[in-house]
């Protein structure tokens, strides 16, 4: 309990069935003066039919881990109910510069793809 100054959860939250319990566990292992940073696929991506997928390097097969479509407010309420304080909530969308470097991102320019929540124990 309270072992870590900083805790990072990157692109996991949308795959967790009980977000509140997950966030409570992050709070439990974070020091009282620590910070938690959570990133996740923005719920707007589910509206476009997009979900995480990965290519198995051995077989070349695409794998889709189970995802749970939630609204941004669901994540906010889960954090608050888990007795966390939201320090920052940022939504990120690709811009033209990213689309120039990564052409497959062009169809998402201006559409939120990712959100980042910075949290503290309340």
Per-residue pLDDT reduced to its tens digit, 15-50: 999 999 999 999 999 999 999 999 999 999 988 888
In sequence order, the β-bridge partners of residue 118 are 37, 88
Task: Judge whether 64 and 53 are in contact, CB under 8 Å.
Answer: yes
Q: Is the pTM of this model over 0.85?
A: yes
Q: What is the pLDDT of residue 109?
A: 95
Bridge partners, residue 113, by sequence: none
**Domains in the chain, ordered, with CATH?**
4-121 (3.40.50.150)
So what's the pLDDT on residue 51? 84
**pLDDT 10s digits, 51-104:** 888 899 999 999 999 999 899 999 999 999 999 999 999 999 999 999 999 999
Q: Which residues contact 25 (CB under 8 A, 6 or more apart)?
A: none
CB contact set of 104 (below 8 Å; sequence gap of 6+): none
Q: What is the mean pLDDT of residues 115-122?
A: 97
């Amino acid at each position: 309990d309270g072992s870590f100054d900083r805790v990072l959860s990157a692109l996991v939250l949308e795959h967790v069935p009980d977000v509140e319990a997950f966030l409570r566990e992050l709070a439990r292992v974070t020091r009282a003066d620590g910070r938690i940073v959570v990133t996740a696929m923005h719920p707007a991506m589910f509206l476009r039919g997009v979900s995480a997928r990965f290519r198995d390097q051995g077989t070349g097969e695409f794998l889709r881990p189970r995802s749970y479509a939630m609204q941004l407010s669901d994540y906010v309420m889960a954090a608050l109910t888990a007795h966390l304080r939201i320090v920052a909530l940022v939504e990120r969308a690709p811009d033209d510069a990213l689309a120039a470097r990564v052409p497959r991102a062009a169809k998402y320019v201006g559409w939120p793809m990712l959100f980042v929540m910075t949290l503290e124990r309340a």
